[in-house]
Amino acid sequence: MNTRSLRFRMTAWYAGLLAGALLVFGISVYLGLERYLYSNLHSTLASQCRTIGTELLPQLPIKGAPWLATEINEDYTPEANSRFIRVVKEGLGVVYLSDAPKNGEFDPSEIPWPSGEKETLRRIRLPGGLELLVDALQFTTPDGSHFVVESGAPYREIEIVLHGLLLTLAVYVPFIVSVAVGGGYWLMRRSLQPIDEITQRAEGITSTNLNERLPVIRTGDELERLSTSLNRMIERLDDAFEHINRFSADASHELRTPLTILQLELEEIIHNHRHNASLTDQVGSALEETHRMSHIVENLLAVSRLDAGEVKMDKAPLDLGELATSTVEQMKLLADEKSITLRSNVGRSVYVEGDRSRLQQVIVNLIDNAIKYTPEGGEVNVSLHRGVNTVVLEVSDNGVGIPRPALPHVFERFYRADKARSRASGGAGLGLSIVKAICTAHGAKVEIFSQEGHGSRLNVELPLLDLPEPDEAGPALGSSKRLRENSSDSA
């Protein structure tokens, strides 16, 4: 579970707020119930004292103490109800004292005397740990006698109710919070599922498929506005990319004719003034730069057309191992000029579907790039790794490598990690852009791994073509071979 996801944080906040609200509610109910029970017990005890003081005590001089005891025992049954009742007459002492309760919780004779105020309510803790709530009221009978009537009850009656409430809260609050967390997480997951769909679709949209759009959620809420706004943004990006590609292609196309004319005129000047060494050197340098500019324009035009999908790919089954081997043999002369060892570990009968000339251009660009940035005496290795459904063409070197911050940008047009060194070696920063465009047109994936000072490795992963063995293929492979030869001739 992703603890940083929106659904987790929303659920956590919801559960936290709910738990806090239930906690505040539980505390409020507990304190309110405690106050209510305390007040109710106090009222009951005070009512008993008033009843005894106002109804029974005025008759005491006439009917006597035994009658008072009989009336109190019959009306209040303190022994059975665990009540404490005591009647004290000023100057005479205890007139009535209730018996010990049947469960033996306390001894009435151990209850201390009141402090002497007119009306007192006190909470008494007995030696056994039991707490009693005792109310005491003073009365004066018509004959002028002064009495103190006390009525008490164990506080545990309140504690039992409060303990039951705590137990209920302890059981049901976690249950309610758990149900709320599960339900909240499910609701958040269901609510955010359209966002996951939008995210997955957005991850698949790149500069090569800006014509695709995100699913619009017809809910009339913020998600619908978000998906609609994102689609409008993608549409604007598509227009911008199309405008840039069209500008690059048009500019490159328009530059080809004047550059060609300029080359011809410079070559004619050299031909007509071949005896003027100084002029020949100057014009030759200008002609060299013109050739270089023409090469850049051609590459830029090729990249723009590949990105726009305007280049026709003559795709056919071809042996990538055979193509890589022949290309390596052709590039060995360039490697020998820098005393670089060019090795290949390529098997045969590795078939893919693609344009032979374009895939050869990919291999040439990768090897040429590796040779450029490998010092004399270095090594460049070309190999094929066959997988289950794909084949990986790997070109590695032990050259200068590429700095880590530059790796995400190496496939961008005109990007050069070391501008001075690339300029000196003739690079314009378009080789890997062409490789990327051709690979994209073939449904291939190109990756680069490099560490500065330890060389680079470029992988091109292409879908593997499942063809019959040569002895079973017969005419099919023969025709594909002829097609490859024709494609090679046209290239």
User: Model confidence over 36-46: pLDDT tens digits?
Assistant: 988 888 888 88
Query: Could you tell me which of 128, 90, 95 has the C-alpha nearest to residue 111?
Result: 128
Angle, helix 475-490 to helix 356-372, in steps of 10 degrees: 60
Is residue 117 predicted with pLDDT exceeding 80? no
Tokens 């080789």 belong to 431
Where are the alpha helices (H) located in 113-155, listed in sequence order? none
429 versus 125: which is more confidently predicted? Answer: 125
| Cβ-contact 85, 150 below 8 angstroms | yes
User: Which pLDDT does position 125 carry in this prediction?
Assistant: 84
Top pLDDT among 433 and 98 is at 98
Q: Does residue 414 register a pLDDT over 70? A: no
- The phi and psi torsions of 5 (rounded to 5 degrees) equal -75, 160
- Sign for the CA dihedral angle at 415, 421, 427, 432 comes to negative
Dist CA 75 CA 47 (whole Å): 13
Residue 230 in contact with residue 272, Cβ under 8 Å?
A: no
Please enumerate, as own/partner, the contacts of 328-334 that have beta carbons within 8 Å and a separation of 24 or more: 328/363, 328/367, 328/382, 330/364, 331/364, 331/367, 331/368, 331/371, 334/368, 334/371
Dist CA 312 CA 314 (whole Å): 6
Q: What is the DSSP letter of 339?
A: T
For 371, list phi and psi in degrees, rounded to 5. -65, -40
CA angle 410, 413, 416 (to 5 degrees): 50
The residue that leads in pLDDT, 390 or 238, is 390
394 CB-side CA count, 13 A: 18
pLDDT, residue 485, reads 39
361-389 average pLDDT score: 88
Residue with tokens 């890997």: 432
Q: Which range is least confidently modeled, 164-168, 278-282, 441-445, 475-479?
A: 475-479
Task: At 26, list the tokens.
Answer: 């539980």
Per-residue pLDDT band for 418 (boundaries 50, 70, 90) equals low
Q: What H or E segment, with its residue span, contains residue 383?
A: strand 379-386
- Look at residue 101 in the predicted model and tell me its pLDDT: 87
H/E stretch holding 437 reads helix 431-441
- In this predicted model, what pLDDT tens digit does every residue of 391-400 receive, in sequence order? 899 999 988 8
DSSP class per residue in 242-263: HHHHHHHHHHHHHHHHHHHHHH
Q: Would the pTM of this model clear 0.85, i.e. be above it?
A: no
The Cα–Cα gap between 434 and 441 comes to 11
Tell me, what amino acid is at 448? Answer: I
Mean pLDDT of the 47-53 span? 89
Contact 152, 111 (CB under 8 A): yes
Which of 109-113, 169-173, 484-488 is the least confident region?
A: 484-488
- Please state, in angstroms and rounded to a whole number, the distance separating the CA atoms of residues 418 and 336: 24
Confidence (pLDDT) at 481: 39
Q: Which domains does the chain have, with CATH numbers?
A: 6-161 (3.30.450.20), 222-308 (1.10.287.130), 315-490 (3.30.565.10)
- Per residue in 14-43, pLDDT (tens digit) is 888 888 898 899 899 989 998 998 888 888
